[in-house]
Chain A
Amino acid sequence: MTWYDVYAIFQGAVFTVSISLASIVIGLPLGLGFALIRWSSVPVLDRFVVVYVSVIRASPAVTLALLIFFALPVVGISLGAVTAAVVTLTLSTAAFNTEIWRGALMSFPREQLESARAFGMTRGLRFRRIVFPQLVHSALPALVNEMTLQVKSSPAIAVLGLVDITRAASRVGARTYDPLPPFVVALVLYSLIVAVFVMTQRLIERRRAAEMEALR
């Protein structure tokens, strides 16, 4: 295995990070939106969310990727491989995020909402000023956990012909007849990516703790 091979796997890592981040950035607010629809029992739409979450949760990422890439052209929607990959990962993570946000919303103390109502806050203000700032912190560990799972389910999009870390590593292994080194490199790269997520989470948690401790 040459330095060029390592570079090739690293390029796969850049791609993995890019599509994972794209799906996370879109999937977080999307999941929150769906969770709010469920939480406030918006008629009809909340049924749609239930079905969506059930279907996506039951569907392996590989199957979903193939479905989106090959089935959508049948109804006249044709997506490029990269777009299809991002759509797959976004739909998948948004479904899990929906359940995480919803769990955090359901355990939100009712009396705080009630006092917010009694003090004349409208629905939007209650969410923005009272619920959301606390929700972010209570949902954070589960959300970061889902982000790391998301990074690790991203190799599924290799079925669309895209080259992520795992695909790049197996290509190198196939060419050099020595698969062990490239997969070690792949594992190290995955660990580094996940470590960045976890460290960011710890940083936010420490800041929050320091803020709550602070005497002004």
Chain B
Amino acid sequence: MTPPMDDAEAPVVLAAHGVSKSFGANTVLTDMELTVRKGETVCLLGPSGSGKSTFLRCLNWLEEPDAGFIVLKGQRIGIRPSGNIVMNDRELAAIRTRIGMVFQHFALWPHLTVLENVMEAPIHVQRRDKAEVRREAEALLQRVGIADKAGQYPARLSGGQKQRVGIARALAMKPDLLLFDEPTSALDPELVGEVLAVMKDLAREGMTMVVVTHEMAFARDVASRVVFLDQGRIVESGAPEEFFTRPKTDRARQFLLRYSAQ
């Protein structure tokens, strides 16, 4: 299985330019650059506290960057086209419907069944036809292998099942791209595989994805590009085979050594 190659001709789905972010005196991100083309799977790697998750959350403005800007399919998001005014709740919401997100701790809505979780945003946010959404939601649950759990509440599911619901829920919005925030970090080791398998399929089918992960094997096999962060800066970026066999920086070498030692 070969992941789609980094196609320089594919249109840019998402671009981040000069993104910086501080929490108080603590600088988390400095001058981050990222371009994601259609069909790419970009893996963000780096040690804990390197700013990967914060950067991912800046991409859909869950976190407001202090500087820089995010462009989704040519449209600058977070800031209004006219002047430097931050978008309001409604404007941001409209843009976020085009960016799917999968969370480390699943963040499903426990008062809704699995099927209702998947149907919630398409029906109430996108206001699409209920019968059609239901058909699609059932097909998505089939695709991630939990169609038999459709009527269950999330509390009854294993972590791996919850995360697959999380992925189906994100796909139901038919987003331009998917963001994954450490999707397997909260899972028991034996459940990691089932989630990664779904993500692998998505990558192969040409879904555009940005994945924050500690799963080096996944990044090596599936990523079209890896971006290595340390202390809120991009240290290295390139093809996975390049990064994993011939890292250019000492920092990346140390990082990879720690993983291969495990």
A residues touching B (Cβ–Cβ < 8 Å)?
A: 111-112, 114-123, 125, 129-130, 133-134, 212, 214-216
Contact A111 B111 (CB under 8 A): no
Name the residue on B nearest A122 (C-beta).
B93
Residues of chain A contacted by B251 (CB below 8 angstroms): none
Residues of chain A contacted by B105 (CB below 8 angstroms): 111
Contact A114 B107 (CB under 8 A): yes
Contact B97 A119 (CB under 8 A): yes
Contact B96 A216 (CB under 8 A): no
21 A-B pairs within 8 Å (CB atoms) are namely: A111-B105, A111-B107, A112-B110, A114-B103, A116-B109, A117-B62, A117-B93, A117-B96, A118-B62, A118-B103, A119-B121, A119-B125, A120-B94, A120-B95, A120-B97, A125-B124, A129-B124, A130-B109, A216-B113, A216-B150, A216-B151
Whether a CB of chain A sits under 8 angstroms from the CB of B152 is yes
Whether a CB of chain A sits under 8 angstroms from the CB of B173 is yes
Within 8 A of A (CB), among B154-186: 155, 169, 173
Question: How far, in Å, is B225 (CB) from chain A's closest CB?
Answer: 23
Residues of chain A contacted by B111 (CB below 8 angstroms): 133-134
Q: Does more than half of chain A's interface fall in helix, strand or loop, or is it mixed?
A: helix
Whether a CB of chain A sits under 8 angstroms from the CB of B244 is no
With a 10 A CB-CB cut-off, give which of A116, A120, A133, A134 has the most chain B CB atoms: A120
Contact B109 A120 (CB under 8 A): no
Within 8 A of A (CB), among B102-122: 103, 105, 107-111, 113, 120-121
Q: Ordered nearest first, which 5 A-B pairs have the shortest CB separation?
A: A216-B151, A120-B97, A115-B107, A119-B121, A111-B107
Contact B155 A120 (CB under 8 A): no
Name the residue on B nearest A111 (C-beta).
B107
Question: How far, in Å, is B246 (CB) from chain A's closest CB?
Answer: 36
Contacts between the two chains (Cβ within 8 Å), count: 66
- A114 and B96 CA atoms in complex are apart in Å by 12
Name the residue on B nearest A133 (C-beta).
B111
Whether a CB of chain A sits under 8 angstroms from the CB of B89 is yes
Contact A115 B109 (CB under 8 A): yes
Residues of chain B contacted by A129 (CB below 8 angstroms): 120, 124
Name the residue on B nearest A116 (C-beta).
B109
Contact A114 B62 (CB under 8 A): yes
Question: How far, in Å, is A178 (CB) from chain B's closest CB?
Answer: 54
Contact A125 B125 (CB under 8 A): yes
Contact B152 A119 (CB under 8 A): no
Contact B113 A119 (CB under 8 A): no
Residues of chain B contacted by A115 (CB below 8 angstroms): 101, 103, 107-109
Residues of chain B contacted by A215 (CB below 8 angstroms): 151-152
Partner of A121, one of B103, B125, B152: B125
Contact A112 B62 (CB under 8 A): no
Given A118-B96, A122-B89, 16 more A-B residue pairs with CB atoms under 8 Å apart are A114-B103, A114-B107, A117-B62, A118-B101, A118-B103, A119-B96, A120-B94, A120-B96, A120-B125, A120-B173, A122-B90, A129-B124, A134-B110, A134-B111, A212-B155, A216-B151
Name the residue on B nearest A123 (C-beta).
B89
Name the residue on A nearest B115 (C-beta).
A216
Contact A120 B93 (CB under 8 A): yes
Per-residue CB contact flags for chain B residues 79-106 toward chain A (1 = under 8 Å, else 0) read 0000000000110011111010101010
Residues of chain B contacted by A118 (CB below 8 angstroms): 60, 62, 96, 99, 101, 103
Per-residue CB contact flags for chain B residues 19-58 toward chain A (1 = under 8 Å, else 0) read 0000000000000000000000000000000000000000
Question: How far, in Å, is B107 (CB) from chain A's closest CB?
Answer: 4
A212-B153, A215-B151, A215-B152 known; A121 vs B121 contact (CB < 8 Å): yes
Residues of chain B contacted by A123 (CB below 8 angstroms): 89
Partner of B109, one of A112, A212, A216: A112
Residues of chain B contacted by A125 (CB below 8 angstroms): 124-125
- A114 and B107 CA atoms in complex are apart in Å by 8
- A121 and B95 CA atoms in complex are apart in Å by 10
Question: How far, in Å, is A135 (CB) from chain B's closest CB?
Answer: 10
A120-B121, A121-B121, A216-B113 known; A112 vs B107 contact (CB < 8 Å): yes
With a 10 A CB-CB cut-off, give which of B107, B150, B153, B173 has the most chain A CB atoms: B107
Residues of chain A contacted by B124 (CB below 8 angstroms): 121, 125, 129
- A129 and B90 CA atoms in complex are apart in Å by 16
Question: How far, in Å, is A108 (CB) from chain B's closest CB?
Answer: 11
- A215 and B96 CA atoms in complex are apart in Å by 33
